[in-house]
């Protein structure tokens, strides 16, 4: 786990310095495009966290693996934070580019729905007095809500959207020069590692909390 | 004694319908709610007919969504309170079939009644008569989809004391694509364009939720009943 943090810090550090200082300004958007180095990874991670959560929930429901619930419970708040970060950075980006903080555009709206889904999953888990039932119910909701993930991802292609199309994740050559692309990819990987690190940390906390009656936890705490 | 699945579904459907007709207040509440909500918009915004016509599809759909949400709360609640639901879940019939029968009954008394009433509201909101067909079709498909989504939400929240707020938090995000396509279908028909694309999408959503909804809702019930 410390390794995850080290790698994440290194990649985010490189991405930030290279992206914010050395990458050339965009010919259309000027320096304002640099917010992409935070915005795109957050948006990507908001979907990735949701998929992790739904997948962990499915694993836990189908094979009755208790760690899956812990992973799903740990991933939900992280994913909600990334979604919020993507929405906030996106609206800050939208102000100089589109002249508005918010537009009722398919991608923005579906990302907002994703945030509400996270809220639903989190509060459904907490609504049950019996944590085991809360776990299963919210895992099921996570799986049902998974239909939204492809909608968010492809909304740019399906509808004529104000939001610009994808420039990195596509077959063939990315529509971006290397000097801009490398810091972005570094940020993306850095965010992934950061997510992994925080997830491990939170899962550890969840497991300790859930197994607080078990002997091995007591021994570990006392040691 | 064994009863076939379809016979059991028919029996449950009849039981549900009979129960709801014995309690006419519960039957009428969502419809009256639908009427009142649609009446609020002209009062709050403007009684100008041209303006109303522009907003009418959205108003109709939001009102339908809220009224369906209001009535779906009772889908499993009274049966869960008196233990009938547990007996049904323990019976030899598959829970999915029971969920289908109950949800269809819910749709007949709330969704279909709402569709039947919508021309009245549409006339009041100055929707032209040529858009009625599209509006009825989109509302019929949409309310059925809403009933399935509501069944999933109601199944997940049935054992909870303060489940109603949570129910809306769960169902509303899932219902948003429905709202978009439903309102745009009616909107296009009012403007004289072809609403086929949006209607096909609504039909696809309806088929999708009708096939996977019973599975998800019965899985939800199994979780909350255990």
Tell me which residue in A113, A119, A128 faces B176 most closely, judged by beta carbons: A113
Chain B interface test: which of A104, A120, A130, A148 (most B C-beta within 10 Å): A120
Residue A147 has pLDDT above 70, yes or no: yes
| Cross-chain residue pair A124–B170, CB shorter than 8 Å | yes
Give the C-alpha separation, A66 to A154, whole Å. Answer: 33
Nearest CA in chain A to B213: A144
Contact assignment for B169 to A120 by CB distance below 8 Å: yes
> What is the CA angle B101-B104-B108, rounded to 5?
135
pTM score, whole prediction: 0.83
- Evaluate if residue A107 carries a pLDDT over 60: yes
Q: Which residues contact B217 (CB under 8 A, 6 or more apart)?
A: B96, B99, B103, B148, B151, B152, B154, B155
Instruction: Find, in chain A, the residue whose alpha carbon is nearest to that of B209.
Output: A144
Residue A82: left if φ>0, alpha if ψ -120 to 50, beta else—which one? alpha
| Of the candidates A183, A167, A176, the residue with the CA atom closest to the CA atom of residue A20 | A183
Domain regions of chain A by residue span: 2-22+32-163+182-222
Nearest to B156 among A113, A140, A151 (CB): A140
Decide if B174 touches A, using CB distance below 8 A: yes
Q: Which residues of B touch A140 (CB under 8 A)?
A: 156, 216, 219-220, 223
Q: What is the ipTM of this complex?
A: 0.77
Mutate to test the interface with B, among A117, A137, A138, A154 (most CBs of B within 10 A): A137
Q: Could you tell me which residue, B46 or A78, shows the higher pLDDT?
A: A78
Q: Which of B85, B60, B84 is nearest to B189 (CA)?
A: B60
pLDDT, tens only, A153-195: 776 666 655 566 555 544 444 556 666 777 888 888 888 888 8
CA-closest candidate to residue A69, choices A78, A77, A60? A60
**Residue A118: closest C-alpha in chain B:** B170
- Record the tokens describing residue B180, joined without a space: 């978009």
- Is A141 near chain B, with CB under 8 Å? yes
C-alpha distance from B141 to closest chain A C-alpha (Å): 19
Three-class SS of residue B176? Answer: helix
On the question of pLDDT at A5 being above 50, the answer is yes
Looking at residue A170, its pLDDT comes to 45
Summarize pLDDT for B4-30 with one digit per residue, the tens: 888 888 888 898 888 888 888 878 888
- CATH code, residues A2-22+32-163+182-222: 1.20.120
Residues A27-80 pLDDT 10s: 566 666 777 788 888 888 888 999 999 999 999 888 888 888 899 999 999 999
Q: Which of the 8 DSSP states describes residue A24?
A: P
Q: Where are the domains of chain B?
A: 5-225
- What does the pLDDT read at residue B207? 92
Chain position carrying tokens 């009245």? B120
Q: Which of B216, B220, B221, B223 to mutate to test the interface with A (most CBs of A within 10 A)?
A: B223
């Amino acid at each position: 786990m410390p390794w995850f943090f080290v790698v994440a810090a290194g990649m985010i550090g490189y991405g930030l310095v290279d992206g914010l200082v050395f990458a050339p300004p965009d010919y259309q958007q000027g320096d304002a495009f640099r917010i992409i180095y935070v915005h795109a990874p957050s948006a990507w991670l908001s979907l990735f966290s949701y998929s992790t959560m739904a997948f962990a929930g499915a694993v836990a429901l189908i094979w009755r693996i208790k760690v899956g619930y812990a992973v799903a419970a740990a991933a939900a708040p992280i994913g909600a934070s990334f979604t919020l970060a993507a929405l906030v950075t996106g609206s800050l980006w939208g102000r100089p580019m589109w002249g508005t903080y918010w537009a009722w555009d398919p991608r923005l709206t579906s990302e907002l729905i994703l945030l509400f889904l996270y809220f639903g999953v989190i509060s459904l888990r907490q609504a049950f007095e019996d944590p085991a039932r809360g776990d299963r119910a919210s895992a099921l909701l996570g799986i049902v809500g998974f239909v939204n993930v492809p909608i968010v991802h492809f909304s740019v292609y399906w509808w004529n959207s104000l939001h610009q199309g994808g420039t990195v994740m596509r077959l063939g050559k990315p529509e971006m020069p290397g000097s801009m692309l490398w810091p972005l990819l570094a940020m993306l990987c850095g965010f992934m590692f950061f997510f992994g690190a925080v997830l491990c940390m939170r899962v550890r906390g969840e497991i300790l909390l859930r197994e607080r009656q078990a002997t091995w936890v007591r021994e570990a705490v006392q040691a | 004694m064994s009863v076939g699945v379809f016979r059991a579904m028919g029996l449950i459907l009849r039981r549900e319908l009979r129960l709801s007709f014995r309690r006419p207040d519960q039957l009428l509440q969502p419809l009256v709610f639908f009427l009142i909500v649609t009446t609020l918009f002209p009062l709050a915004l403007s009684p100008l007919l041209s303006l109303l016509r522009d907003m009418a599809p959205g108003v109709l759909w939001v009102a339908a969504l809220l009224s369906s949400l209001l009535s779906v709360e009772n889908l499993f609640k009274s049966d869960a309170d008196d233990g009938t639901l547990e007996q049904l879940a323990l019976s030899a019939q598959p829970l999915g079939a029971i969920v289908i029968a109950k949800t269809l009954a819910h749709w007949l008394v709330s969704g279909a009644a709402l569709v039947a009433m919508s021309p009245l509201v549409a006339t009041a909101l100055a929707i032209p008569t040529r858009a009625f067909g599209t509006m009825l079709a989109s509302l019929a498909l949409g309310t059925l989809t809403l009933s399935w989504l509501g069944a999933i939400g109601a199944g997940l929240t049935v054992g909870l004391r303060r489940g109603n707020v949570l129910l809306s938090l769960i169902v509303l995000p899932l219902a948003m694509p429905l709202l978009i396509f439903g309102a745009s279908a009616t909107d296009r028909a009012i403007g004289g364009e072809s609403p086929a694309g949006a209607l096909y999408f609504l039909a696809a959503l309806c088929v999708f939720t009708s096939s996977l909804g019973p599975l998800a809702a019965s899985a939800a019930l199994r979780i909350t009943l255990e």
